[in-house]
Structure 1
Amino acid sequence: MRAAALGTALLTVLVPALSACGGDAAAGSGNATLKWTSSYFPTHWDPVVGGSGAQFRELALVYASLTRTDENGKAVPDLAKSWEYNVKGDRITFHLRPGLKFSDGEPVDGAAVKAAIDRAKKQQNSALFGDLTSIKSVDAEGLDAVIHLTQVDYQIPQLLGERVLQIASPKAAASPAELDQNPVGAGPFIVTQLIPGTKVLLKKNPDYWDAKNIHIDNVELTSAPDAATVVNGLQTGVYNFADIEPNQAQAAKKAGLEVFVQPGFNASNISLNINKAPFDDDKVVDAVRYAINRKEFVDKLTFGYGEVTDQPFPKGYVAYDPKSENDYSYDPAKSRKLLAEAGHKSGQIKLDLVIPAEDPQAEIVQSQLAAVGITVTIKIDKNWATPFFAKDLTFSLYGTTGRDSAAQTLTAHFGPNGPLNLSSPYEPSGFEAAIARVRQTPLGSPAYPQVLRAATRAGLRSKALIFTYSQPNLIAKSKSISGLPKNPAHIDWTGVTISGTR
């Protein structure tokens, strides 16, 4: 959840002082230096633990994956130069590029892929094991990794990309706690200094498979200070790259900075637990659905950069289902009528909306539900994640950065064991069969878009989620940094240059 990431990352740091401790030296050397300050600075550098949320974008400085995502959102080669399925579709073989090595000198081969997948599935604190349920086992055969599946699943090339399988050196990963402090990967950069929660310095990896197209020599990544000071820091040169909120975009433009609009799979939702009263009554669930005015979220929170959505995908994405648009349009009169039919008088239903940090979304929900006679009390629990993922909460908010695999996004929200399904083990009728058809359909099949949208339609029958709005990722950067590839949700440094430093 973005709010959770902000709550974790917004530590009190003296960024100007930190930048003087090496940042100015790097910039003064004449090398191309990226000075990135981030509101979602990684809490972990072990990709098995920290490869979720938005932090995977920063871990991708260090770690490469089997595949990566292109500007169309499709899987293309990264560490793997190619792959193919068997005829049945329950086994896939990835062929790795020859001669690659991790920054500690260990080879990038089938054994490294097997170790990465096994660790993601078995390590006790793994955040990724739920994403890999289709994988039964992995055989290492030299530069080949042969992945045996529990079912026909053509989503694997999409799945094993930058977000879910960032591959660490097996030697370094033998001690996950040490890897968390001293990350070792085969990505475009190598960590030279790491201060947990505060700062990391990196240098270009000369052994990266595409090093010839990486034109940045050094990276200084710091945890963002108070949001109000970020634009000033960009103006004065303390930073030259920063993720920003929509309300900062205009100030950044006025300061002469470029605002890069990065496409994403972001979508915010209201999460209901239908296993608990009052949401065990379908009429109450529908009343809440009709009480929500999505446009108010867009108008008040996105400053022109967002749009309404009633799905876990933005409009235009292949998985977005036009047939499901406006199934529950804003209708407060109908909401009040449903509550009356369910036997509830105005003010009788009282709900605690539990969230991890202050969030203006919560106030909008509180106001909109008050208008139909539901009283909402906002409660902040810094340990919110524990009861949320244990499915102990009744009412909450969530925002997803999405997945490269649309099927994974759908199962995360609507599957019986989905981490974002607050009503587990509930799943909507027909969803299991619909998502199975998605997995069984090759990504290049002409039928794939329609099969995928049918699964979205089946998932949206869920009573556990009410989607509200989506918005892209916004980045403010110095004009000295060239344009970035518009790969959805990912930051790709391929071909990016920084002028005035060479």
Structure 2
Amino acid sequence: MPRRPRSPGRPRTAALSAVLALLLVPVLAACGGTGAAAGGAATLKWTSTYFPAHWDPVVSGSGAQFRELALVYASLTRVDEKGEAVPDLAESWEYDDEGDEITFHLRPGLKFSDGEPVDAAAVKAAVERAQRQQNSALHGDLTSIESVEADGLDAVFHLTQVDYQIPQLLGERVLQIASPKAAKSPAELDQNPVGAGPFVITQLIPGTKAVLEKNPDYWDAEHIHIENVELTSAPDTSTVVSGLRTGVYNFADLDPSQAGSAKKAGLDVFVQPGYNASNISLNVNKAPFDDDRVADAVRYAVNRQEFVDKLTFGYGETTDQPFPKGYVAYDPESENAYPHDPAKARKLLAEAGHRAGDIELDLVIPAEDPAAEIVQSQLAAVGITVNIKIDKNWATPFFAKDLTFSLYSTTGRDSAVQTLTAHFGPDGPLNLSSPYEPAGFEAAVAEVRRTPLDDPHYAETLQAATRAGLRSKALVFTYSSPNLFAKSPSVSGLPKNPAHLNWTGVTIGDTR
């Protein structure tokens, strides 16, 4: 068995390379539909509440839809079950002595599903498009990259600063690589995705259904045992369990409210590890949150446990940070800095000159959300009136920083630093108060970037950056809901890669 590669965090480390040792998961007993198509081909029938609105990874790759897009697109790296970067399209990489340049060595002989070569020029084109395309959701994640130099199969990243986070950053979530030929027309790519991932789309009905087949040219096709994928948009959470039970689907995203009935139906219900966190977003550039006392009053008004009890059905947990407890970036010193204290919230509002009922806010959200009703109730208890407003085009004013008050849930990033900067940085897409950032945050993040991931002081340096970010008045973290899935027992277990769905080694039914 090949040795597992070292982290390439140290300057001039030996080039990281590996053949991932992949163990086939035993086939479990079939129940309901096996997913075997005509001729015995194994078919994954996945229904998702996160069916991609866009198939251009530059537009859609940063949200929960990256899991579906990963069927089509591969990336330079991916994460293993420890959340560490391991090879994907790049078979190895190394930093220079200063830590401000990193070279990725691509696997030879790879091609996109349109026949174009997977080379350094394709990587360069992908980075530049993510940085420059007007509707890119990724440009804020790539600020450490100044330029990319393409030399055959070697992609040399010249960085704006020392940054040892790059291998973790450039995984499935932030840089899924499309064929540069297809990406010349982003609108066409959006409807006809072309990547170098494990599957190729053969039919796409926008917003409804995608049919895919195994990509024989995928670099690890030997360990992909699923022949076909039928991905559909879940019509309603209440219908998912019945569809799984009758074999219409054999894999599904699952709402926590359906977990009990799924278990009673004999389905496998499991939690895939992740970095999910929900928050209340405040715009401190707008009244009344331009007064720190009002922002803090909201913090003390929030009862996090109520979100968990009412929304997660025993599967979630409270959080006051963008990371779960036990994760390397979670800062124990910041835990419970703002405990539930309605009396203190009312006192702060009074000190700011507000009587009960003085403040009336519009809470703008994209769709009905019971979390909004909890926020409405909890703030009413301290004298703040909240009107819930649904705007289906919510993303436009949110990312333009035009809203005053909103809710947001994130799936995090594989790089903890990118999670921090997305929330607290001056250009962070999740920072409704841009360009505001808390004092000391920029310096703390720069120190983390300069610290190799295998440095003995990395954890404490990272937690200090989390602590600096949490001084922000712009975000109130509430709870974490898990990545919850259900499947027919005919689908074998998935690797426990945090936040990702990895189909390597997964089997369906009897595929002999």
Structure-2 separation of matches of 1:310 and 1:24: 42
* Deviation string, structure 1 residues 152-193 (Cα, Å, up to 9, x no partner): 111110111000111111122122222112111111111111
Q: Aligned-pair distance for 1:108?
A: 1.0
Q: Which amino acid aligns with 2:303?
A: N
Do the aligned partners of 2:35 and 2:247 also contact (CA within 8 Å) in 1? no
Q: Which amino acid aligns with 1:316?
A: G
2:215 matches 1:224:
no
Taking only the aligned residue pairs, the percentage that are identical comes to 82
Q: Which residue of 2 aligns with 1:423?
A: 433
Do the aligned partners of 1:264 and 1:471 also contact (CA within 8 Å) in 2? no
Structure-1 separation of matches of 2:299 and 2:327: 23
The alignment partner of 1:412 has SS state of helix
Larger proportion of helix: 1
Do the aligned partners of 1:431 and 1:458 also contact (CA within 8 Å) in 2? yes
Q: Which amino acid aligns with 2:319?
A: T
The alignment partner of 1:137 has SS state of strand
Report the TM-score when normalising by structure 1: 0.94
Structure-2 separation of matches of 1:306 and 1:84: 38
Q: Which amino acid aligns with 2:283?
A: N
| Equivalent position to 1:271, from 256, 281, 300 | 281
Q: Which residue of 1 aligns with 2:472?
A: 462
Q: Which residue of 2 aligns with 1:322?
A: 332
Q: Aligned-pair distance for 1:204?
A: 0.8
Structure-2 separation of matches of 1:500 and 1:112: 38
Q: Aligned-pair distance for 1:122?
A: 1.6
2:446 matches 1:446:
no
Q: Which amino acid aligns with 1:27?
A: A
* Deviation string, structure 1 residues 445-472 (Cα, Å, up to 9, x no partner): 1111111000000000000000000122
Structure-2 separation of matches of 1:247 and 1:106: 45
Do the aligned partners of 2:35 and 2:42 also contact (CA within 8 Å) in 1? no
2:262 matches 1:257:
no
Q: Which amino acid aligns with 1:269?
A: N
| Equivalent position to 2:405, from 374, 391, 395 | 395
Do the aligned partners of 1:288 and 1:335 also contact (CA within 8 Å) in 2? yes
| Equivalent position to 2:90, from 80, 83, 88 | 80
Q: Aligned-pair distance for 1:489?
A: 0.7
Q: Which residue of 2 aligns with 1:51?
A: 61
The alignment partner of 1:249 has SS state of helix
Q: Which residue of 2 aligns with 1:10?
A: none
Do the aligned partners of 2:35 and 2:508 also contact (CA within 8 Å) in 1? no
| Equivalent position to 1:380, from 380, 386, 390 | 390
Structure-2 separation of matches of 1:31 and 1:229: 26
Q: Which residue of 2 aligns with 1:20?
A: none
Q: Which residue of 2 aligns with 1:9?
A: none
Question: Mapping of 1:79-478 within 5 angstroms?
Answer: 79-478=89-488
Q: Which amino acid aligns with 1:428?
A: P
Do the aligned partners of 2:282 and 2:289 also contact (CA within 8 Å) in 1? yes
Q: Which amino acid aligns with 1:339?
A: L
Q: Which amino acid aligns with 1:307?
A: E
Do the aligned partners of 2:34 and 2:247 also contact (CA within 8 Å) in 1? no
Structure-2 separation of matches of 1:452 and 1:440: 11
Q: Which residue of 2 aligns with 1:484?
A: 494
Structure-2 separation of matches of 1:362 and 1:377: 9
Q: Aligned-pair distance for 1:500?
A: 3.7
Q: Which amino acid aligns with 1:88?
A: E
Do the aligned partners of 1:101 and 1:107 also contact (CA within 8 Å) in 2? yes
Q: Which amino acid aligns with 1:412?
A: A
Q: Aligned-pair distance for 1:29?
A: 2.5
Do the aligned partners of 2:269 and 2:485 also contact (CA within 8 Å) in 1? yes
The alignment partner of 2:353 has SS state of coil
Do the aligned partners of 2:36 and 2:508 also contact (CA within 8 Å) in 1? no
Do the aligned partners of 2:317 and 2:479 also contact (CA within 8 Å) in 1? yes
Q: Aligned-pair distance for 1:316?
A: 1.1
Do the aligned partners of 2:149 and 2:155 also contact (CA within 8 Å) in 1? yes
Q: Which runs of 5+ in 1 are unaligned?
A: 1-22
* Deviation string, structure 1 residues 219-249 (Cα, Å, up to 9, x no partner): 0001111111111010010000000110011
Stretches (4+) displaced over 3 A: 23-26
Q: Which amino acid aligns with 2:508?
A: I
Do the aligned partners of 1:27 and 1:501 also contact (CA within 8 Å) in 2? no
Structure-1 separation of matches of 2:242 and 2:35: 21
The alignment partner of 2:177 has SS state of coil
Structure-2 separation of matches of 1:364 and 1:174: 45
The alignment partner of 2:324 has SS state of coil
The alignment partner of 2:507 has SS state of coil
Structure-2 separation of matches of 1:151 and 1:445: 18
* Deviation string, structure 1 residues 370-404 (Cα, Å, up to 9, x no partner): 11111111111111111111111111111111111
Structure-2 separation of matches of 1:48 and 1:329: 39
Structure-1 separation of matches of 2:386 and 2:252: 35
Structure-2 separation of matches of 1:263 and 1:349: 39
Structure-2 separation of matches of 1:177 and 1:24: 36
* CA-based RMSD: 1.3
Q: Aligned-pair distance for 1:26?
A: 6.8
The alignment partner of 1:170 has SS state of coil
Q: Which runs of 5+ in 2 are unaligned?
A: 1-32
